[in-house]
Amino acid sequence: MFEMDLHPRLSETDGAGHIGNTVLVVWFEEARTPLYQIVMPELSMDTWSLILANYSVDFYAQIFYGTPVQLKTWIKRVGNSSFETYQEVSQNGKRCASGTSVQVYFNYQTGKSEPLPDNLKAGLTTHLLPPEEQA
């Protein structure tokens, strides 16, 4: 698991007075950076090898400006050419949202997915979501 603290920005606050729903997708992507570094240690756009295939976000409570949030990121599943993440954001110790995403190991030259190399699978599986936490 990876953990990250973020400070909600005023610009992320919507007209209802809480953090806008579209902001979570950006936060979750930022919190996936350590996982991206397992696949691409340099994080170079020249050698980028992932493509987002799916994401979803579930909301449980409002998130507010002025109080830090904590993001947690796990690997939920590692497949042949993709992996699924599970992420949570909490504020003041309360879970406010969770999300999943599917990242595909992708060759931009051929425009096709490729099998994840065994060393990348091994690196990703060290961050698996414990089975008792999977719904």
Spatial distance between the Cα atoms of 95 and 114, rounded to a whole number of angstroms? 35
What's residue 47's pLDDT?
87
Instruction: Assess whether pLDDT exceeds 90 at residue 59.
Output: yes
What's residue 75's pLDDT?
96
Helix, strand, or coil here: 121?
helix
Spatial distance between the Cα atoms of 134 and 86, rounded to a whole number of angstroms? 9
Would you list the domain boundaries of the chain?
A: 2-133
Q: How confident is the model at residue 124 (pLDDT cuts 50, 70, 90)?
A: very high
Amino acid at 14: D
Structure confidence by residue, pLDDT tens digits, 66-109: 999 999 999 999 999 999 999 999 999 999 999 999 999 999 99
Q: Nearest-5° angle of CA 27, CA 82, CA 112?
A: 110
Instruction: Assess whether pLDDT exceeds 70 at residue 39.
Output: yes
The average pLDDT across 49-56 equals: 96
Within a 10 A sphere around the Cβ of 2, how many other Cβ atoms? 17
Question: Domain 2-133 sits in which CATH superfamily?
Answer: Hotdog Thioesterase (3.10.129.10)
Instruction: Assess whether pLDDT exceeds 90 at residue 130.
Output: no
pTM of the model: 0.92
- Listed in order, strand segments (DSSP E) in the chain are 2-6, 50-59, 69-78, 82-91, 94-107, 112-113
